[in-house]
Structure 1
Amino acid sequence: MEFETRTEGNVLRIDVLATRIDAACAIQFKDRMRDLCADCPERVVLDLQRVDFLDSSGLGAVVAAMKFLGNGRRLELAGLTPKVSKVFRLTRMDSVFTIHQSADDVLDSGSSAA
């Protein structure tokens, strides 16, 4: 699974370059997120604009990444496609994560939620 990252101030932006996060790649996603977030700043914005499909394993992998960050750091989501957004709404995980319209908005404005 491929990612692009950049850090600006206290924000690490992680762009997921895959179109799916599902059972076939969930473990790889979690492992890679652990590597990327090992020494990250207090805010991590996961840009999911390219992800068109997320199943329960993918959702679990995103939650595992959030838990890995622990206290003092937070995982925020950005750029959810309609299908992915629906998964977060149906599971009520949209109340657990801060969700932004786009990662660019977060980095440009430093806003906390859309």
Structure 2
Amino acid sequence: MMELMQFSLCFMAFNCFALAKFNHFREVFKKKLTDKQRHSFLTTGWITILLSLVLSVLSEGGYGALLFCGYMALSVLMLMILYSFTVSWVKHISILNLSILLLSCFSVMIF
């Protein structure tokens, strides 16, 4: 479950970085991005990407950095396909990712 949490954090981070761009935000939410929202997305993105890196390295040691690079590549690939072909699904995928992240966090805390 720890790997799923690390991947979900990485996916969330790159989704936040994408939504911090004016064009992507407008395509997804059909309204203009404010500076406060942009700053919030960027801050959330940096915090979650660093948290994913720290968790990967702490749980797997040196191999965790390699896993983190794989999580980043897979996240960017999935988001690139999502934003290129099915922009209307971004909100639903984001909610699904957030629920998976919360469930994996609870699972790691319990077990």
Which structure is richer in relative contact order (CA contacts within 8 A, separation 6 or more)? 2
Q: Which has the larger radius of gyration?
A: 2
Q: Same fold (TM over 0.5)?
A: no
- TM-score under structure 1 length normalisation: 0.28
- TM-score under structure 2 length normalisation: 0.28
Q: Is the helix fraction higher in 1 or 2?
A: 2
Q: Is the strand fraction higher in 1 or 2?
A: 1
